[in-house]
Amino acid sequence: MRRALLPLLAALGLGACAPAPSTPDDGRVHVVTTVNMLGDLARQLGGERVRVTGLMGPGVDPHLYKASAGDVRRLAGADLVLYGGLHLEGKMVDVLHALGTRTTSVALFETLPRERLLGPPGTPDPHVWFDPTLWAGVARAAAQALTQVDPAGREVYAANLRRYLGELEQLDRWSAAQFRTVPERQRVLVTAHDAFQYLARRYGLEVRGVQGLSTVAEASGVRVRDLAAFLDERDIRAVFLESTVSPRTLEAVREAARARGHAVALGGSLYADAAGDPGTPEGTVTGMIRHNVRTIVAGLTPEARR
């Protein structure tokens, strides 16, 4: 055990002599990931060569997640730690940085070219999984990291990467075609959270958040009325829930629109900062994006619904 981790483990009451985590000796590369999108990515690229332990499951908010003592042990026992960075795991920064010298760990989103990231210079927007062309860059960096810790798997990782990049290209083309079916002035995504800026940029959507960047502050009455007027004027038919955010403010906007004689539906629930349940299509990044695109397009074009 290297020095960098000692204060951390001590602070967590684990002490310097905490036993090494019991890692089954199955010859596979043990990858520990934070958000479940990265767990999916590690499995897509690593296949049978890797054993993936994900710290955050479906419905978990990575901005608020704090590492447990068990998580720190899992991270310390990994062959490779893959995380997002860009402060996505805002409460885990110290833990992840302390790992830097002990375990191979890679902040995958921080490998992307800065000019392709959105947000203010000091704090880029970390929600990069919603642009398949950015996610392709993340996948390349992940394959490189896997190859670094397991050079014997080089060809497997390269082949899986090629297949996965093909899937992302297909997803990107499909998504663009789907959004083109929505009249241009109605391509507006109203949600409660700030997760969809990359999706919006890639496919030419406008995004409007009811509460702005933080979900802490209540939306003001003026903001609610302005948004209702905007929905009415632009003939926007739906606003969208996220599985982790209360529908209350969206309800207030719908009510205000109704008062103007404009009906706005709840367009269904989108996956934002976590993929769905493992073993379901939405448990993968490509599946969660497909779900979101279908949900948004169907909500914005109710007349086209079969």
To Zn ion, the closest distance from the beta carbon of 192 in angstroms equals: 11
Q: Which of 37, 195, 205, 227 binds Zn ion (CB under 5 A)?
A: 195
Tokens coding 48: 């049978």
How far apart are the C-alpha atoms of 124 and 293, rounded to whole Å?
Answer: 24
| Residue among 130 and 164 whose Cβ is closer to Zn ion | 130
| Residue among 127 and 262 whose Cβ is closer to Zn ion | 127
In this chain, which stretch among 49-57, 153-161, 192-200, 296-304 interacts with Zn ion, using CB under 5 A? 192-200
| Residue among 45 and 270 whose Cβ is closer to Zn ion | 270
In this chain, which stretch among 142-150, 191-199, 253-261, 296-304 interacts with Zn ion, using CB under 5 A? 191-199
How far apart are the C-alpha atoms of 134 and 116, rounded to whole Å?
Answer: 8
In this chain, which stretch among 44-52, 158-166, 178-186, 194-202 interacts with Zn ion, using CB under 5 A? 194-202
| Residue among 195 and 296 whose Cβ is closer to Zn ion | 195
In this chain, which stretch among 100-108, 207-215, 251-259, 268-276 interacts with Zn ion, using CB under 5 A? 268-276
Amino acid identity for residue 112 in this structure: L
Tokens coding 38: 């990265």
To Zn ion, the closest distance from the beta carbon of 199 in angstroms equals: 12
How far apart are the C-alpha atoms of 242 and 291, rounded to whole Å?
Answer: 12
To Zn ion, the closest distance from the beta carbon of 62 in angstroms equals: 7
For position 242 contacting Zn ion by CB under 5 A, the verdict is no
State the alpha helices, DSSP H only, in the chain.
Answer: 6-11, 36-46, 69-76, 93-99, 132-149, 154-180, 197-203, 221-234, 248-259, 285-300
Is 39:80 a contact under the CB 8 Å cutoff? no
Q: What are phi and psi of 88, to 5 degrees?
A: -60, -45
| Residue among 129 and 179 whose Cβ is closer to Zn ion | 129
Amino acid identity for residue 34 in this structure: T
To Zn ion, the closest distance from the beta carbon of 61 in angstroms equals: 7
| Residue among 89 and 273 whose Cβ is closer to Zn ion | 273
To Zn ion, the closest distance from the beta carbon of 65 in angstroms equals: 11
- The 37-66 site mask, x for binding Zn ion (CB under 5 A), equals ------------------------------
Sign of CA pseudo-dihedral 214, 75, 81, 110: positive
Is 223:251 a contact under the CB 8 Å cutoff? no
> What is the dihedral angle through the alpha carbons of 191, 197, 201, 203, rounded to the nearest 10 degrees?
-40
| Residue among 172 and 273 whose Cβ is closer to Zn ion | 273
For position 273 contacting Zn ion by CB under 5 A, the verdict is yes
| Residue among 56 and 195 whose Cβ is closer to Zn ion | 195
In this chain, which stretch among 163-171, 219-227, 234-242, 272-280 interacts with Zn ion, using CB under 5 A? 272-280
Which residues make Cβ contacts (< 8 Å) with residue 248, sequence separation at least 6?
none
For position 89 contacting Zn ion by CB under 5 A, the verdict is no
**Count of C-beta atoms within a 10 Å radius of residue 177:** 12
Residue numbers of the site for Zn ion (CB under 5 A)?
195, 273
